[in-house]
């Protein structure tokens, strides 16, 4: 467990004598927090008692499971750009947070988790509901700390928020013993502005920026890959100015989706295992590869020994650990994407690269003929996930926040959903957490109540956090819940079909009556299993002023293509 030096602890003046529990609440309010997600229990009860007196300033959302609290906090953070906050008790309450914390860590989501802990004299005694949550969470947090004295609360909370949201964002966990919550002390709060030996935003080398500009200006086939770093640094305008000036085709990771309008002429589509044909194929034909705010995940690169070996790589990245980790760079620009692009774009020459862009268009035409037309506009046969997403696009006009779970429906939504605004695509990327969507959609709607929020979920993932329907009902959050039901764990089944000779081992789902279950929670629900009823059902679904569920029965053995098989080169992308 880390200890803080005296230089990191602000000098405080006496203001008021309060308990540690009240200090937690006041610290949250001082950080601008207006919403927290949580579940009470014995070891955190003093904090919940303090919350009772601050209900007008701090809204608490009672989820039905602590994992739901973390995913809701993630959805809130991703929709707003603020730090999400989750709170739980000790023992199982704390350990139930771990999946969401790990998800936030790998997807760079700013989150502060607060857990209660047994009284400090009982630490290490295997007391009732005691777990070493600091030790358990250490590998999946940006920082964590155990508070055993009330006087530590203000400066630890201040440091927690600073670390969570600065640089490459991530989750922080603060564990507070019960006696520290009861203790009284003289409280004053000061926000943290820096931490010794922690440099969250490195400054890019001006000489390297010039080197990058020279590479890009000399390129005949430049290609930009962009990730969530564009969104996290709020560099959407700077990014668009950059690619437009250089005439640079740009493709996104699923975490970068919505940073650039999906209809922009330089937006050439999605990277990765189920990404578009052109971006995958032409990665191995570009001469300069410019990666911005992305980490070359294995689902994007495929076989690294065959990935873009012909290209000179420029990598703009805030986290030094990601530089040269997977893909060797020619020029590494360490820094915040917004700042780097502001310095780089003036050095970029006006260009169009029309012939190179035409190669992407030719690939698009081939993919449209072989895959897309059959997916989004089939004329017969079973309904497809793609055609449902196309109906959603028609009703939302690209203005909705689309939250997805993990699986085939996720890839279909990412491939076919239209987005005009940033912070509109919320999904579990790096960890791939089934059960993420329903609580994350709730958090997104609470964070952005003025926006339409559509949760797109498979029948498998829906059942992992189905209890959060009760939270949606209690909060009256108007989340639109779309279940694409193929009665399979679809992505696993697809792999079993393609690579395991159709041995569908334990992937068939015998599902409940989703409509009846949802209505049991007090939420309206409809099921559609005929194409002729789909348009009207989707229209009513989106236009509803309250939360509702639409279940659509889709083909059981439909697959997601294109596909880069596991371990293959991106140039080996398959259309069927």
Q: pLDDT tens for residues 34-62?
A: 999 999 999 999 999 999 999 999 999 99
**Would you say the CATH fold of 383-553 matches that of 4-195?**
yes
* Interatomic CA distance for residues 65 and 15, integer angstroms: 37
What six digits make up the tokens of 130? Answer: 């005691």
Annotated domain spans of the chain: 4-195, 206-360, 383-553
CB 72 within 8 A of CB 37: yes
Q: Which whole number is the average pLDDT over 464-486?
A: 98
Q: Which of 221, 40, 202 is nearest to 116 (CA)?
A: 40
What six digits make up the tokens of 216? Answer: 């890009």
Q: Which whole number is the average pLDDT over 87-115?
A: 98
pLDDT, one tens digit per residue, over 161-180 is: 999 999 999 999 999 999 99
Q: Biggest alpha carbon distance in the chain?
A: 74
* Interatomic CA distance for residues 537 and 553, integer angstroms: 13
For residue 442, pLDDT beyond 50: yes
Per residue, the 3-state secondary structure of 73-109, as one string, reads HHHHHHHHCCCEEEEECCCHHHHCCHHHHHHHHHCCC
Alpha carbon of 304 to those of 276, 287, 299, 310, 474: distances in Å?
Answer: 19, 17, 11, 13, 48
* Interatomic CA distance for residues 80 and 192, integer angstroms: 21
Task: Give this prediction's pTM.
Answer: 0.95
* Cα angle for residues 127, 131, 136 (degrees, 5° grid): 165
Please provide the DSSP assignment of 258-289 as one string.
Answer: TSS-TT-TTEEEE-STTS-HHHHHHHTT-SEE
Q: Fold for domain 4-195? A: Rossmann fold (3.40.50)
Residues 6+ apart with CB under 8 A from 148: 120, 123, 177, 179, 180
Q: What percent of the chain has pLDDT over 70?
A: 98
Catalytic residues: 66, 128-129, 178, 491
Q: Which of 227, 279, 216, 223 is nearest to 248 (CA)?
A: 223
pLDDT, one tens digit per residue, over 380-428 is: 999 999 999 999 999 999 999 999 999 999 999 999 999 999 999 999 9
pLDDT, one tens digit per residue, over 79-91 is: 999 999 999 999 9
Q: What pLDDT is recorded for position 392?
A: 98
For residue 520, pLDDT beyond 60: yes
Q: Which of 450, 464, 244, 448 is nearest to 341 (CA)?
A: 244
For residue 8, pLDDT beyond 60: no
pLDDT, one tens digit per residue, over 184-238 is: 999 999 999 999 999 999 999 999 999 999 999 999 999 999 999 999 999 999 9
For residue 9, pLDDT beyond 50: no
Q: What pLDDT is recorded for position 103?
A: 98
Residues 6+ apart with CB under 8 A from 411: 274, 491, 560
Q: Which whole number is the average pLDDT over 279-307?
A: 97
pLDDT, one tens digit per residue, over 329-365 is: 999 999 999 999 999 999 999 999 999 999 999 999 9
Mean pLDDT for the chain overall: 96
Q: Which whole number is the average pLDDT over 369-385?
A: 95
Q: State the sign of the Cα–Cα–Cα–Cα dihedral 2, 30, 336, 421.
A: positive
What six digits make up the tokens of 518? Answer: 């949802």
What is the number of helices (H) and of strands (E) in the chain?
Answer: 24, 20
Strand 16-19 relative to strand 184-187, pairing: antiparallel
* Interatomic CA distance for residues 101 and 110, integer angstroms: 10
Q: What pLDDT is recorded for position 7?
A: 42
Q: Which of 442, 426, 481 is nearest to 458 (CA)?
A: 481
Q: Which H or E run includes 133?
A: helix 133-137
User: 2 pLDDT band (50/70/90 cuts)?
Assistant: very low
Q: Which whole number is the average pLDDT over 525-548?
A: 97
74-88 in b/e burial notation, b at 16+ Cβ within 10 A? bbbbbbbebbbbbbb
Alpha carbon of 54 to those of 21, 59, 63, 263, 390: distances in Å?
Answer: 12, 8, 19, 45, 44
The domain 206-360 belongs to what CATH superfamily?
A: TPP-binding domain (3.40.50.1220)
Q: State the sign of the Cα–Cα–Cα–Cα dihedral 325, 329, 332, 336.
A: negative
Q: What percent of the chain has pLDDT over 90?
A: 97
For residue 532, pLDDT beyond 50: yes
Comparing 23-27, 268-272, 314-318, 379-383, the range with the smallest average pLDDT is: 379-383
User: Phi and psi (nearest 5°) for 95?
Assistant: -70, -25
User: 15 pLDDT band (50/70/90 cuts)?
Assistant: confident
User: 5 pLDDT band (50/70/90 cuts)?
Assistant: very low
What six digits make up the tokens of 338? Answer: 């917004």
Q: What pLDDT is recorded for position 566?
A: 87
Q: What pLDDT is recorded for position 181?
A: 98
CB 64 within 8 A of CB 471: yes
The CATH label, of 3.30.2010.10, 3.40.50.970, 3.30.1280.10, 3.40.50.1820, for the domain at 383-553 is 3.40.50.970
CB 572 within 8 A of CB 565: yes
92: region left, alpha or beta (phi > 0 left; psi from -120 to 50 alpha): alpha
């Amino acid at each position: 467990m880390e200890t803080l030096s005296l230089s990191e602890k602000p000098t405080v003046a006496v203001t008021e004598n309060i308990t540690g529990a009240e200090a937690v609440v006041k610290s949250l309010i001082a950080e601008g927090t207006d919403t927290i997600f949580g579940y009470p229990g014995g070891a955190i009860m003093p904090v919940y008692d303090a919350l009772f007196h601050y209900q007008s300033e701090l809204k608490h959302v009672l989820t039905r499971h602590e994992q739901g609290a973390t995913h809701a906090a993630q959805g809130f953070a991703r929709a707003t750009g603020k730090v999400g906050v989750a709170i739980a008790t000790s023992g199982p309450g704390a350990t139930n947070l771990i999946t969401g914390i790990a998800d936030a860590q790998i997807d760079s989501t700013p989150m502060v988790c607060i857990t209660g802990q047994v009284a400090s004299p009982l630490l290490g005694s295997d007391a009732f509901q005691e777990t070493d949550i600091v030790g358990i969470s250490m590998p999946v947090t940006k920082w964590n700390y155990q508070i055993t004295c009330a006087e530590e609360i203000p400066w630890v909370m201040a440091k927690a928020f600073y670390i969570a949201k600065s640089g490459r964002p991530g989750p922080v966990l603060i564990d507070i013993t019960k006696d520290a919550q009861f203790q009284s002390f003289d409280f004053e709060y000061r926000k943290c502005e820096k931490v010794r030996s922690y440099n969250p935003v490195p400054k890019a080398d001006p000489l390297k920026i010039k080197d990058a500009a020279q590479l890009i200006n000399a390129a005949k086939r430049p290609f930009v890959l962009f990730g969530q770093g564009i969104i996290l640094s709020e560099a959407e305008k700077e990014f668009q100015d950059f690619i437009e000036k250089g005439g640079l085709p740009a493709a996104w990771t699923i975490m970068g989706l919505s940073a650039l309008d999906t209809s922009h002429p330089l937006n050439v589509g999605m990277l990765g295992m189920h990404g578009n044909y052109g971006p995958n194929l032409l990665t191995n034909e570009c001469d300069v590869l410019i990666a911005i705010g992305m980490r070359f995940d294995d689902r994007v690169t495929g076989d690294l020994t065959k990935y873009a070996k012909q290209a000179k790589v420029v990598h703009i990245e805030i986290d030094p650990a990601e530089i040269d980790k997977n893909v060797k760079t020619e020029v590494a620009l360490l820094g915040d994407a917004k700042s780097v692009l502001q310095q780089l774009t003036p050095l970029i020459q006006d260009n169009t690269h029309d012939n190179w862009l035409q190669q992407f268009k030719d690939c698009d035409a081939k993919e449209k003929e072989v895959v897309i037309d059959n997916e989004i506009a089939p004329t017969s046969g079973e309904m497809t996930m793609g055609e449902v997403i196309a109906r959603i696009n028609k009703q939302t006009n690209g203005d909705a926040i689309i939250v997805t779970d993990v699986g085939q429906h996720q890839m279909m939504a990412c491939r076919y959903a239209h987005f005009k605004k940033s912070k509109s695509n919320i999904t579990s990327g790096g960890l791939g957490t089934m059960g993420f969507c329903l609580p994350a959609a709730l958090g997104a709607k609470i964070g952005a109540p003025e926006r339409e929020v559509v949760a797109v979920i498979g029948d498998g993932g829906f059942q992992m956090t189905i209890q959060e329907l009760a939270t949606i009902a209690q909060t009256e959050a108007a989340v639109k819940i779309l279940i694409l039901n193929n009665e399979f764990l679809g992505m696993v089944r697809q792999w079993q079909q393609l690579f395991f000779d159709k041995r569908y081992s334990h992937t068939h789902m015998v599902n409940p009556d989703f409509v009846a279950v949802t209505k049991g929670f007090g939420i309206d629900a409809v099921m559609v299993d005929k194409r002729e009823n789909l348009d009207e059902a989707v229209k009513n679904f989106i236009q509803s002023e309250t939360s509702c569920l639409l279940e659509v029965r889709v083909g059981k053995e439909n697959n997601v293509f294109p596909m880069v098989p596991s371990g293959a080169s991106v140039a080996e992308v398959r259309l069927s």
